[in-house]
Amino acid sequence: MARELAGTNNGHARRFNRRVVLEAIRVFGPISRAEIARRTALMFPTVSTIVAGFLEQDIVRTVGRARGSRGQPATLIALNGGAAFTYGLHLDRNQMRAVLVDLAGEVREQAVRWVAAPDAEQTVSAVEEMVEGLRANAAVSPDRIIGAGLTLPGPVDRETLRSAASPWRDFPLRDALQKRLGVPVWVERDAPAAALGERLHGDGRSVRDFFYINFSVGVGGGLILGGQPYGGANGYAGEIGHYPSVKDGRQCICGARGCLETYVSVGALMSELGIDGKPDQAARTLAQLAEARDPRLHAWAARSADVLAPALMAIENMLDVAVIFFGGYLPKALACDMIDLVKPALESMRMSGKKRHPELRLATSGADAAAMGAAVLPVFELLAPDPNLMLKRTENSAPAEPARSVLQL
């Protein structure tokens, strides 16, 4: 159904402008009020009023004065990281990761547990124990926690908020965690969440259009367009792992054959190398092989580059993004090797006369990408300058927000 047309009013415009100013402080801070006005095209009095409100709420703080300018040095403004905190939870088929992140994107505490498909009740209890430990170790007051983000592998149904590819597919995990943790919980696929983390706290801060490839047990993808996450009509946009790469190829857990992730994923690599055993031991073994520059890893990366290149070319031609990030659990040296190996294959596929093409970059978050992205979910929902805020929305279309929060924008 086509979305109804909607206008705006002063309330929506004020809310949008506040988020625009906060985004400028987050990306470019420490920054002066005059510089905020220049970067946002807002009038200086408007910026000053908004910043004064943020200072009163303790969302931002002054951090000294600018040097080298004429006249009286301008006061510099930066985010106050201690104003609010979120939990980031990443549940995979063989591990749980949890982070406690402040408003400025700094990880205050983190924890990892290696598991083998625990049942639902074990998962809920383990997550509660992990996050309580994080909060206690960081000495953060409960009323400063504004929410938690939860990321799951595979497609996540938008209505049920459950992952079809996880051990908890038949359990209301979000509702159980929300009740146990006492804060609102947002749910997303792991790869789009990792892309969002890169957008707010990584190299994606300066890139408005990019694709994020999340190498894990499988392979996922997240898409940022115009600075905003794009999930598609049903939330499955970016599912690069099930791109049909090899005709009549290996059997995939999705039921098809020849999917990309059956060849280009950490799970496929470990299977090819014969690495098994407990998940934590397998991860350490792979890291040791990468550090030792085992030639088998280079050979695998070369074969993977040939399989991956057509999928990357499809992303380049159809989406025209500026950057494709390589992230997830691949050891850094191996990911860099794959980037170097896939570039020549892409050059041979490009249409002639094309002057610009996506830059291939290593993502900044590494193995914690999905957990970091999960922690971003409550913050992004509250703070991001989404153009949809300018629309008069019905009650049913408004995003969920915490019942109590130190952030009221």
- Rounding to the nearest 10 degrees, give the CA dihedral for residues 234, 401, 370, 81: 150
Q: Which two tokens stand for residue 112?
A: 């990892």
- With respect to residue 397, please indicate whether it lies within any of the assigned structural domains: no
DSSP 62-74: EEEE-SS-SSSPP
- Mean pLDDT, residues 41-64 taken together: 92
Per-residue pLDDT at 386: 53
What residue numbers bound the domain in which 61 lies? 10-79
Partners of 215 in the beta sheet?
219, 328
Whether residue 277 has pLDDT greater than 80: no
Per-residue pLDDT at 383: 61
Per-residue pLDDT at 165: 63
- With respect to residue 344, please indicate whether it lies within any of the assigned structural domains: yes
Domain end: 79, 103, 131, which one? Answer: 79
Whether residue 409 has pLDDT greater than 90: no
pLDDT bin (cut points 50, 70, 90) of residue 120 is confident
Q: Which backbone phi and psi does 292 adopt, to 5 degrees?
A: -85, 0
Q: Which of 39, 33, 23 is nearest to 409 (CA)?
A: 23
Per-residue pLDDT at 378: 86
pLDDT tens digits, 152-198: 887 777 777 777 666 777 788 889 999 999 999 998 888 888 898 88
Pair 159, 289 in one domain: no
Is the model more confident about 156 or about 285? 285
pLDDT bin (cut points 50, 70, 90) of residue 310 is very high
Whether residue 265 has pLDDT greater than 60: yes
Pair 137, 260 in one domain: no
- Mean pLDDT, residues 206-214 taken together: 93
DSSP state of 402: -
- Mean pLDDT, residues 22-40 taken together: 89
> Which stretches of 320-368 are DSSP H helices?
332-347
Q: Which backbone phi and psi does 42 adopt, to 5 degrees?
A: -95, 155
- Rounding to the nearest 10 degrees, give the CA dihedral for residues 362, 365, 366, 369: -120
Contact 198, 322 (CB under 8 A): no
Pair 234, 347 in one domain: yes
Per-residue pLDDT at 69: 59
Per-residue pLDDT at 392: 40
Contact 253, 130 (CB under 8 A): no
The Cα 60–Cα 22 span in angstroms is 9
Pair 144, 187 in one domain: yes
The Cα 401–Cα 381 span in angstroms is 8
State percent of the chain over pLDDT 90.
44
Per-residue pLDDT at 5: 41
Is the model more confident about 41 or about 200? 41
Is the model more confident about 278 or about 168? 168
The Cα 103–Cα 83 span in angstroms is 7
pLDDT tens digits, 331-379: 888 999 999 999 999 998 988 888 889 999 999 877 788 888 899 888 7
Is-cis flag, bond preceding 167, omega within 30? no
Query: What's this model's pTM, rounded to 2 decimal places?
Result: 0.79
DSSP 7-29: ---HHHHHHHHHHHHHHHHHHH-
The Cα 281–Cα 404 span in angstroms is 42
Whether residue 228 has pLDDT greater than 90: no
The Cα 401–Cα 409 span in angstroms is 11
- CATH code, domain carrying 352: 3.30.420.40
- With respect to residue 409, please indicate whether it lies within any of the assigned structural domains: no
State percent of the chain over pLDDT 70.
87
Q: How many domains does the chain have?
A: 3
DSSP state of 232: -
Pair 257, 316 in one domain: yes
Pair 71, 90 in one domain: no
pLDDT bin (cut points 50, 70, 90) of residue 396 is very low
The Cα 148–Cα 408 span in angstroms is 17
State which H helix or E strand residue 228 sits in: strand 228-229
Per-residue pLDDT at 381: 58
Pair 157, 114 in one domain: yes
Contact 75, 62 (CB under 8 A): yes
Considering the chain, what is the average pLDDT of its residues? 84
The Cα 157–Cα 338 span in angstroms is 32
Whether residue 395 has pLDDT greater than 60: no
Pair 137, 56 in one domain: no
- Mean pLDDT, residues 195-219 taken together: 88
pLDDT tens digits, 56-96: 988 899 988 877 656 678 899 999 989 899 999 998 877 88
Cα of 409 vs its chain's centroid, Å: 22
Domain end: 79, 109, 138, which one? Answer: 79
Cα of 380 vs its chain's centroid, Å: 10
- Mean pLDDT, residues 106-132 taken together: 87
